[in-house]
Chains A and B, each alone.
Chain A
Amino acid sequence: MRARPMNASRREFLKTSAMAGGGLIVAFTLPGASRLAQGAGKEARMSAYLRIAPNSEITVVCGLSEMGQGVHTAIPMLVAEELDADWSRVRVEQAGVDQAFANPIFGMQATGGSTSVRGHWEPMRKAGATARAMLVAAAAETWKADAAECRTERGMVIHKSGKKLSYGQLAEKAAKLTPPKDVKLKDPKQFNLLGKSGTKRLDTVAKSTGRAKFGLDVYLPGMLTAVIAYPPVPGGKAASVNDAKAKAVPGVRQVVQIPSGVAVLADGYWAAKLGRDALEIQWDHGANASLSSEGISKMLSAGAAAGGAVGRNEGDAKAATPAKTIQAEYEAPYLSHSCMEPLNCTAWVKKDGVEIWAGTQSQGPAQGILSQVAGVQPGQVKVNTMYLGGGFGRRFAPDPVIGATVLSKITGKPVKLVYSREDDTRGYFYRPASVTKMTGGLDANGVATLFTANVASPSIMEGSHFMKLPPDGVDEFGVEGIRDCPYDIPNLHIEYSRQEPGNLQVWFWRSVGHSQNSFFLESFIDEMAHAAGKDPFEFRRSLLGKQPRYKGALELAAEKADWGKPLPAGVHRGIAVVFSFGSWCAEVAEVSVVSDGTPRVHRVVAAVDCGMTVNPDIVKRQIESAIVFGLTAALYGKITFKDGRVEQSNFHDYRMLRMNEMPKVEVHIVPSTEAPGGIGEPGTPPIAPAVANAMFAATGKRIRKLPLLG
């Protein structure tokens, strides 16, 4: 999901009010809030807020979804910094759905695209600074002193005479004051929390004790649990259903046919699952009955050979006459997100509206979609966001919330729709497969003079249903990471050919197009370096003269990894650098390859330039997390088709990286005073090419098709 920055100050406003029992509430509208009417009333709209209670407890209400990336800690930190709050008294509360919480970058309430800190960096700090200014004014009034004689520290206003009042003591009085129109934000040099290590996550205790509530943990009175028998072939339909045996399973209450399949509703998951297993269904497989991965590869390869819409054209690639030319075709498969928590949603369609409980990344869009599904006004759709047991883009998709709502509407009861792991793995919304043909040219001195790439893949923009292919016909996600090739090569030509094998539903997957295109580009650049007889790090560096931040990340990773220095026997290095989601990330992988070709990744050294950081500990963990996600896919990840069916089903055949395969990971942050970049995704793209490049260094064999283990 691409960041579309907007004027952050135009529509922002703040309002303050008193809390029952004498506290201060600062409500504010985020800059994206009025761009799309999400349908909520004016009153509710003022509901992005922070509360300061008389006991000095500070609550930051957060409209963003916590899926492991740490946003429920980062957002409160932004507020706390400017407020000079006592961090030990700061709490976070998940907001409901309201346009007031629209992500300033998307213009709707949603979490994704590594946008949270980028979008909220300024507005959340302003909210904190406003509250601080009012607390200072309240103290000055109490002391009949000048506000300039007061300072703030850890939840206290302190007068130069030494008098002190806590924020809790001042909150009621502050609530009666008019908020200042303009507040000054701190110079980053004055930060106490931001950019400093050591601030603990606010969700750790709940997540270390089993108390954190995820979507699957929702139980409502009279609730039914639903499991759906989905067509085994995408686009198929149930032709006939015999549900007698299913209905005979103790605990099964109802069997209903809905557009997505045949649902069994029961008193709990196990009965619903047994009921589904007992269904006898004749499927009409439709047009995809013979869909196969071989066919898909052929179709994509033909698309890449034919070329398509021009995404970038510099110099004259056709006329270039390099001394040496290399060509290669690369391929990446479909991938499932496989969040640790299988997909689910609980919905309750009542007379006066719909209420859902879900770990969702897209409250805003869900509100609009469900109002149509249930035939109510968007304002009548209430979304309770639970903790997300992983998101990675998959929880941006609406299928579980639609399914649960449809079933609740039919049955009139609260329904928890649960995907089994198999349903989740086979639930489409995959990272698209892609085939890319590339050409590289070198002059007689081994300097790169030509790079062309023809990408063939399905369109995520069209598949998303909220975007369209632009008039130039180039899917931005199809080519991101390759169209933006940063290397200083005079003749550059990129084409995109949209191919939709089986019309499969494709979707955003952690780092989106970069996840495969960076593998293509960063592997192929390595091929060019070897063809030029140059060191892969030096070759890249020589082409990044105009890209200081790329170069900075690349150099730091190489330095920290002791690039060029000897390694233990059998261990080899590979390197890659990628810019994505506003951040530059370089990774060096140290890999050995055993005789059957299986790689063992011993250590990964990463360097990231993500501008100023909010919480460097979380930044490092996110980069490490993204490396594991990318490495898992690089080594094992593939969704394949045979006779129209997805061949993988669960973790035994859609493998996850495990503890005994986990490399050591070191993450270094490039010091920076630039605006913050994203952090949830940028660590993923470089790892596949870094490992593949190390494998080439080890074996001399170039792997051009993912996964690396075949």
Chain B
Amino acid sequence: MISLVVNGKTREVGAAPGTPLLWVLRDSLRMTGTKFGCGIAQCGACTVHLDGVPVRSCVTPLSAAAGKKVTTIEGIGATRAGKAVQAAWMRNDVPQCGYCQSGQIMSASALLAKNRAPSDADIDAAMSGNVCRCGTYNQIRTAIKDAAASAKGA
């Protein structure tokens, strides 16, 4: 059994230590908000935070998450940045098919948590690992700036 803290709750998992965190979240814990897109750290759909740092859970073995704090899309709304990002996503109607959006929101939340007023270049740097096949990039950019502005006012 490996123990990790997911969205504030301690969870014991019986999966093999080499199992990617993505599949532990999805298949073992049935938390399906975190998505499988490529499996090789090329799309960002599986992004979660490990002790506050965004990681691609498809290439993060369970063993690397042992004892750490994992935050997923299901829990990101409890953070200041995550709450602002989700609200901005909704105000701006960002998602189309929606499949990439958990990962986008996780990457955007990590960006805003450490940078309260990201420039376009900051957004490019933080978000270019997240593919959106529906092409919502401009809406994502707008929503990140909107979230930054709203968080400032808060």
Chain A 518-558: CB-based contact to B (< 8 A → 1; otherwise 0): 00000000000000000000000000000000000000000
Interfacial residues of chain B within 1-53, with CB under 8 A of chain A in the complex: 15-16, 19-20, 23, 26-28, 30, 32-40, 42-43, 45
Chain B 117-154: CB-based contact to A (< 8 A → 1; otherwise 0): 00000011101111111111111110000000000000
Give 6 closest A-B pairs by Cβ, nearest first.
A210-B33, A628-B135, A389-B99, A207-B98, A68-B97, A68-B96
Given contacts A270-B19, A389-B97, 9 further A-B contacts (CB under 8 A): A68-B97, A70-B96, A210-B74, A267-B27, A340-B133, A389-B99, A390-B97, A659-B128, A662-B137
23 contacts between A and B (CB under 8 A): A68-B97, A205-B90, A207-B95, A208-B95, A211-B33, A212-B98, A214-B35, A214-B99, A216-B32, A225-B27, A250-B16, A338-B133, A340-B131, A389-B98, A421-B38, A621-B139, A625-B135, A627-B135, A628-B134, A651-B42, A658-B129, A658-B137, A659-B127
Knowing A67-B97, A387-B98, A659-B137, the reply to whether A340 touches B132 (Cβ < 8 A) is yes
CB distance B131 to A209 under 8 Å?
no
* A66 CA to B27 CA, complexed, in Å: 25
* A213 CA to B134 CA, complexed, in Å: 17
Tell me which residues across on chain A come within 8 A of B27, comparing CB atoms: 225, 267-270
Tell me which residues across on chain A come within 8 A of B86, comparing CB atoms: 208-209
CB distance B97 to A213 under 8 Å?
no
CB distance A658 to B128 under 8 Å?
yes
Tell me which residues across on chain A come within 8 A of B97, comparing CB atoms: 66-68, 339-341, 387-391
* Residue from the list A66, A250, A388, A651 in contact with B43, Cβ < 8 A: A651
Tell me which residues across on chain A come within 8 A of B65, comparing CB atoms: none
CB distance A270 to B139 under 8 Å?
no
Main secondary structure of the interface of A (DSSP, over half): loop
Tell me which residues across on chain B come within 8 A of A219, comparing CB atoms: 30, 32
> Which of these binds chain B: A17-25, A137-145, A169-177, A196-204?
A196-204
Tell me which residues across on chain B come within 8 A of A369, comparing CB atoms: none
* Most interface-central of B42, B43, B98, B129 (chain A CB within 10 A): B98
A660 at the interface (CB under 8 A from B): yes
* A500 → chain B closest CB, angstroms: 28
CB distance B134 to A390 under 8 Å?
yes
* A680 CA to B104 CA, complexed, in Å: 23
B105 at the interface (CB under 8 A from A): yes
Tell me which residues across on chain A come within 8 A of B93, comparing CB atoms: 200-201, 204, 617, 621
Tell me which residues across on chain A come within 8 A of B19, comparing CB atoms: 270
A624 at the interface (CB under 8 A from B): yes
B112 at the interface (CB under 8 A from A): no
* Residue from the list B15, B42, B133, B134 in contact with A650, Cβ < 8 A: B42
CB distance A208 to B37 under 8 Å?
no
A504 at the interface (CB under 8 A from B): no
Tell me which residues across on chain B come within 8 A of A269, comparing CB atoms: 23, 26-27, 36
A377 at the interface (CB under 8 A from B): no
A444 at the interface (CB under 8 A from B): no
Chain A 151-195: CB-based contact to B (< 8 A → 1; otherwise 0): 000000000000000000000000000000000000000000000
* A665 → chain B closest CB, angstroms: 6
Knowing A268-B27, A629-B135, the reply to whether A420 touches B32 (Cβ < 8 A) is no
CB distance A656 to B131 under 8 Å?
yes
B77 at the interface (CB under 8 A from A): yes
